[in-house]
């Protein structure tokens, strides 16, 4: 292993890792908020609302993420209406297309996880809260969401790890995140394997951080 | 616009169909590798000697902690080198080049095996110990216990998880398009480039993937039902 070459390539890999972190953090936080709407939409007693969110979840979970990324990045630009709209400056950028695709994708999966968490709450608790005269908002804020979030922690931890890996697909639409950076440097150098090993180690560090974070959160929120 | 998808020399229908066939071929081969290697890794984790157990744990932790795309690139850039090095050990001096197909199947299979191993390990652990003890007490040999007691029951616990691994493997095949293997994504890309109709080609690809995932989900559900046919229901109505 050539230490010199690894040292010269490290800044490139680290700046790729920084893009990866941005993609993960932005799409996970946006996706989390959207997932709340998806979960409540799926549970809505309004047929139209639960139907539309159901279709959304089905579409995004039954197709590969790469297709979704390409459809948004290449596909949308085909329509003049979109090219002339105010959204175009955003949809033209690979960066925002990747974030949009990742957000929509994780919201579909997370929404289903949340739905399960909400449905797992014993109905007696909701009845009790209503009997105490709690408003809907307070019922969700005090009773439903805190417990649902605790139940979904392990599953959501897995979803976060999946998202770290999913961001690597952004390299397919010209974004130089960690995988893209490793590939670019590898194709120029005579030691391609080392680049992927280092990139892999950085990904493992991120995965490890998430696992530890989830374990800490589980311990903190443990019942009783 | 839709006549771009005609079959024959003036349409992309046959290319897309061949791409879908290639996608299924890669997915099925990688999944078989995943199940076979995954069973081996699960066995190593459950009852191997300590160094083998550590190796197996390292394998599943590392592969499940890095993107599948990285594994594909690693094999693409490093796979031939490795094989030539091994071939050299056996005194073979020529160069071996890996095809995109071999790289794709191997990479997706390696990822599939890591996830399958975890599913299979969990399923084997879910089989009650008393069953194995009873089988041993009846004088069954190791292989007979495996065939008659362990595998049929573990399979039932493993099926839902293995169904998820299949869905993941099928979706991971899209990544092989980066090494120019002519599977569905690659064909859609070529179609888009020559016709400037990206939306049409990627929606077509999306629909085909949707058909594949939905059909295979139904298949796994039917398999689960069949595997559970002898199980007493706890809730009756």
Q: What is the pLDDT of residues A136-186, one digit of tens each?
A: 899 999 999 999 999 999 999 999 999 999 999 999 999 999 999 999 998
Mean pLDDT of all residues belonging to chain B: 91
pLDDT of residue A25: 97
Q: Does B3 have pLDDT greater than 80?
A: no
Which bin fits B180, alpha (ψ -120 to 50), beta or left (φ > 0)? Answer: left
Q: What span, in angstroms and rounded, lies between the C-alpha atoms of B220 and B226?
A: 10
The closest alpha carbon to A181, from A5, A9, A13, belongs to: A13
Whether B205 and A67 lie within 8 Å, measured CB to CB: yes
What phi and psi values does residue A223 have, to the nearest 5 degrees?
-65, 150
Q: In chain B, which residues have their Cβ closer than 8 Å to the Cβ of A74?
A: 192, 198-199, 202
pLDDT of residue B237: 45
Which one of A62, A166, A203 has the shortest CB-CB distance to B210?
Answer: A62
Does residue B237 sit in helix, strand or coil? coil
The per-residue pLDDT string of chain A (224 residues; one tens digit each, 9 = 90 and over) reads: 578 878 888 999 999 999 999 999 999 999 999 999 999 999 999 999 999 999 999 999 999 999 999 999 999 888 888 888 888 888 889 999 999 999 999 999 999 999 999 999 999 999 999 999 999 899 999 999 999 999 999 999 999 999 999 999 999 999 999 999 999 998 887 778 889 999 999 999 999 999 999 999 999 988 65
Q: In chain B, which residues have their Cβ closer than 8 Å to the Cβ of A193?
A: 74, 77-78, 81
pLDDT digits (tens, 9 = 90+) for B98-126: 889 999 999 999 999 999 999 999 999 99
Question: pTM, whole model, 2 decimals?
Answer: 0.91
Q: In chain B, which residues have their Cβ closer than 8 Å to the Cβ of A70?
A: 185, 188-189, 198, 202
pLDDT of residue B1: 67
Its ipTM equals: 0.90
The closest alpha carbon to A64, from B117, B188, B116, belongs to: B188
Which CATH code for domain B2-227? 1.10.3720.10
Whether A192 and B78 lie within 8 Å, measured CB to CB: yes
Q: Which two tokens stand for residue A154?
A: 């392990």
Distance from CA of A72 to the nearest CA of B (A): 9
Query: Who contacts A103 (Cβ-Cβ below 8 Å, separation ≥6)?
Result: A26, A27, A30, A31, A34
Q: What span, in angstroms and rounded, lies between the C-alpha atoms of A101 and A104?
A: 5
Q: Does B210 touch chain A (CB under 8 A)?
A: yes
Domain ranges of chain B: 2-227
Share of chain B above pLDDT 90, in %: 72
Structural domains of chain A ordered from first start: 3-221 (1.10.3720.10)
Give the DSSP letter string of chain A. Answer: --HHHHHHHHHHHHHHHHHHHHHHHHHHHHHHHHHHHHHHHHH-S-HHHHHHHHHHHHHHHHS-HHHHHHIIIIIGGG-HHHHTSTTHHHHTSHHHHHHHHHHHHHHHHHHHHHHHHHHTS-HHHHHHHHHTT--HHHIIIIIIHHHHHHHHHHHHHHHHHHHHHHGGGGGGGT--SHHHHHHHHHHHSS-HHHHHHHHHHHHHHHHHHHHHHHHHHHHHH---
């Amino acid at each position: 292993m050539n230490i010199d070459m690894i040292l010269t390539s490290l800044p490139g890999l680290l700046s790729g890792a920084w893009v990866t972190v941005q993609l993960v953090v932005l799409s996970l936080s946006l996706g989390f908020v959207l997932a709340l709407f998806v979960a409540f939409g799926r549970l809505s007693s309004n047929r139209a609302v639960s139907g539309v969110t159901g279709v959304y979840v089905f579409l995004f979970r039954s197709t590969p993420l790469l297709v979704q990324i390409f459809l948004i990045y290449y596909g949308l630009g085909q329509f003049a209406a979109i090219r002339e709209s105010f959204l175009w400056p955003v949809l033209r950028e690979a960066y925002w297309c990747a974030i949009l695709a990742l957000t929509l994708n994780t919201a579909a999966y997370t929404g289903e996880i949340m739905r399960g968490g909400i449905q797992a709450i014993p109905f007696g608790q909701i009845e009790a809260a209503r009997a105490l005269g709690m408003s809907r908002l307070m019922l969700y804020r005090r009773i439903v969401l805190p417990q649902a979030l605790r139940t979904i922690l392990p599953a959501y931890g897995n979803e976060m790890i999946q998202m770290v890996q999913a961001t690597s697909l952004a390299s397919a639409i010209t974004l130089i995140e960690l995988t893209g950076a490793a590939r670019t440097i590898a194709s120029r150098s005579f030691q391609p394997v080392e680049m992927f090993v280092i990139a892999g180690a950085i990904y493992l560090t991120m995965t490890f951080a998430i696992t530890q974070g989830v374990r800490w959160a589980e311990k903190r929120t443990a019942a009783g | 616009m839709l006549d771009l998808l005609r079959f024959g020399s003036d349409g992309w229908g046959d290319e897309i169909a061949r791409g879908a066939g290639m996608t299924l071929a890669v997915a099925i081969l990688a999944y078989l590798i995943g199940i076979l290697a995954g069973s081996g890794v699960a066995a190593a984790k459950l009852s191997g000697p300590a160094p083998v157990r550590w190796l197996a744990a390292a394998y599943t932790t590392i592969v499940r902690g890095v993107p599948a795309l990285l594994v594909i690139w690693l094999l693409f850039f490093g796979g031939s080198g490795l094989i030539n090095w091994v071939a050299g050990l056996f005194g073979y001096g020529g160069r071996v080049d890996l095809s995109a197909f071999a790289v794709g199947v191997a990479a997706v299979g390696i990822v599939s095996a890591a996830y399958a191993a975890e599913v299979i390990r969990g399923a084997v652990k879910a089989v009650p110990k008393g069953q194995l003890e009873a089988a041993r007490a009846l004088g069954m040999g190791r292989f007979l216990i495996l065939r008659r007691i362990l595998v049929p029951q573990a399979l039932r616990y493993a099926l839902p998880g293995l169904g998820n691994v299949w869905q993941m493997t099928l979706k991971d095949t899209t990544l092989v398009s980066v090494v120019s293997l002519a599977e569905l994504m690659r064909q859609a890309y070529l179609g888009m480039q020559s016709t400037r109709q990206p939306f049409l080609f990627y929606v077509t690809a999306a629909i085909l993937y949707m058909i594949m995932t939905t059909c295979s989900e139904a298949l796994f559900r039917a398999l689960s039902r069949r595997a559970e046919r002898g199980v007493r229901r706890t809730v009756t109505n």
